[in-house]
Structure 1
């Protein structure tokens, strides 16, 4: 019976891997056909050397960094305070943070355009810098479910109340407790949320397109509509960036777990 279950598990794993890897391999192989007489990385050289790609990728990187900073400053104090003082509100806060998964991004951006248009009391679409701020807020909203849960999982792994009481006994202020005690102890959770946020922002299309910002998502769509081999190269590049982010989550998480295990073994 156990052998049959093992065979079924391996079969499911093989089928799932082939379902995932075959289209990826075909996309990679097609991206090498830009030169008719031989395989080459010409499509990658064209894409990476395109000034529009460099500008859009740099812009998305900047937006991702700003989104991570704003999201971190929003979620860490909130999750910390809820765990410490308002545990009964955890289901409410968790429900609120899940709403971006339920509400489509196009609904969110149309709401922004309606509320923050040039004729409103707070116009954020009248100039580029203000629209960038609005885009960061939109990205923070979209990444909220991932950032909050990563931070909350990090807080669950430490004794928040004991750390807070110890810091208060030593005369630490709330800001000192938050930045010198809580942040360092949930670093792995923050990094996990940061890499997930980066993966969300780097390929996002709807918000950037409708707000008319030069992000990587609209650039990918534009290239896909007008080129043949470059879109495949871009798909592979985006895949590598996303999975590199996932790999970094695993690396930092494993390093943090190993450090805790070694600390626990010390006499």
Structure 2
């Protein structure tokens, strides 16, 4: 057992070094913008860039909209499949995992070809292009969001919770909002985090739709700068870990299964 424990710690240490060494090297390189000494010049340049704030803010807005629409679409659908149509679950899983075999460049070319001309010309206006962008990101995030919701739904007794809520006079909107969603809190947070990470780092779709997203901004910065992209990578890594820490904090503080409460129909 002692030998097994030593081997376990050895592999954990090697795995940690595999991820930590490139990160430390990137951090050190980002601090060498001034010759001969370490400084935060690259970080100040990035954070003071109006384009960085604009693209990051826009990406966060698109990510929030994508997450909300995905939850409103996927959660009721998966709930109804588990409750009434369990026999079509394999079909749902097949459809949900189709984005894995469809490259983003193929997806965006198909969207542009279909929605750039009448009768549905969505690329002719900014707001409609944003709608198309959100729809594309929903497709990319579908496997992760669906798997998170489906796993969470399997962990609870959907039929019993539904019957208990109905016996207390709750209607379908109340059941979904006050019974199903609270019991899926951890699963929904996992899907939300993955969706947010996908939207923030995506490049291909945002580039071809010509939207001011964070991914194309980072790619353009890499072409023209040396130290600023490294600083931006460290900032992005820090934001990602901050989200993971927030997710961990919320899930640890969240209560157990939600209580079934009566509500208006």
Tell me if both proteins adopt one fold, taking TM over 0.5 as the criterion. Answer: yes
Structure 2: which 5+ runs fail to align?
260-265
The alpha carbon displacement at 1:101 in A equals: 1.8
Map of 1:65 onto structure 2: 64
Separation of aligned partners in 2, 1:4 and 1:101: 40
Query: 1:84-122 deviations in whole A, cap 9, x for unaligned?
Result: 1111111211121111122111111111011101x2311
Within 2, Cα distance between the matches of 1:173 and 1:63? 32
Distance 1:161 1:42 in 2: 58
TM-score, length-scaled by structure 2: 0.92
**Superposition TM-score, scaled by structure 1 size:** 0.92
1:154, distance to aligned residue in structure 2 (A): 2.1
Aligned length: 258
Q: Which digits, 9 at most, give the CA deviation of each residue in 1:120-169, with x for residues without a partner? A: 31111111111000000011111111111222222223221111111212
Cα distance in 1 for partners of 2:197, 2:190 equals: 11
Matches within 5 A, 1:101-180: 101-117=100-116, 119-180=117-178
Q: Is the 8 A contact 1:100 1:145 kept in 2?
A: yes
Alpha-carbon distance between aligned partners in 1 of 2:95 and 2:60, rounded to the nearest angstrom:
27
Q: Are residues 1:213 and 2:211 paired? A: yes
Q: Which residue of 2 aligns with 1:189?
A: 187
Shift of 1:26: 0.3
**Corresponding residue number in structure 1 for 2:47:** 48
Which residues of 2 match residues 6-45 of structure 1 at below 5 A? 6-45=5-44
Task: State the Cα distance separating 1:176 from its structure 2 match.
Answer: 1.7
CA positional deviation for 1:8: 2.8
CA contact (8 A) 1:203 1:238 kept: no
- Report the alpha carbon displacement of residue 260 of structure 1 after superposing the two structures with TM: 2.5
User: Which residue of structure 2 lines up, in the alignment, with residue 96 of structure 1?
Assistant: 95
For residues 5 and 120 of structure 1, the distance between their equivalents in structure 2, rounded to whole angstroms, comes to 65
